[in-house]
Amino acid sequence: MIERFDEGRRMAQAVAYGPFFETAGICADDPSLDVRAQARQALASIDALLERVGVSRRDLVRVQAWLADYRDFDAFNEVYDAWIEGCPKPVRACVESGLGGYAVEIRVLAYRSA
C-alpha cells in the first residue's frame, strides 16, 4: 500500500510504502531567512512529517541536502549536527545546486520497522 502525505496537483510532500518513508525536497517556509534559519524550518517540517507516520530521526537511513551556495556548508552543518545529535547516523550527501531563491533543500528516507 502506498500512502501519500500533503499531496498537491504536482506532487506529494512525502510517501510511505512498505517499510519505507521518504520526503520530497523540503525547503523553509521563509526563503528570506539565512541558511541556518532555513535549515531549522526545513528540518522542523521533516520532523512533523516523520511524526505523522510514527518514525523519528533514529529511523533515518538517508539524508540528501542541497545548498544554493556551498560556502554555507559549515553553517548548515551546525544546524544539521545539532538536529541529528544522539541519533544513529544515516548516510548523507550534500551538494551545491541552484534552488530558485532558497538557501537549502533537504530530503530524507526512513525505515519503518514492523
pLDDT tens string 67-76: 999 999 999 9
Q: How many CB atoms lie within 10 A of CB 12?
A: 16
> pLDDT tens, 48-64?
999 999 999 999 999 99
Q: Looking at residue 58, which CATH number applies to its domain? A: 3.30.1330.40
Cell of residue 30, nine digits = 521563509
Are 31 and 103 in contact by the 8 Å Cβ rule? The answer is yes
- In the block, residue with C-alpha cell 510504502: 17
Beta carbons within 8 Å of 102's beta carbon, 6+ residues apart: 27, 28, 31, 38, 68
Q: Considering the entire predicted model, what is its pTM?
A: 0.94
* Residue 101: domain span: 2-111
pLDDT tier for residue 99 given thresholds of 50, 70 and 90: confident
Q: How many domains does the chain have?
A: 1
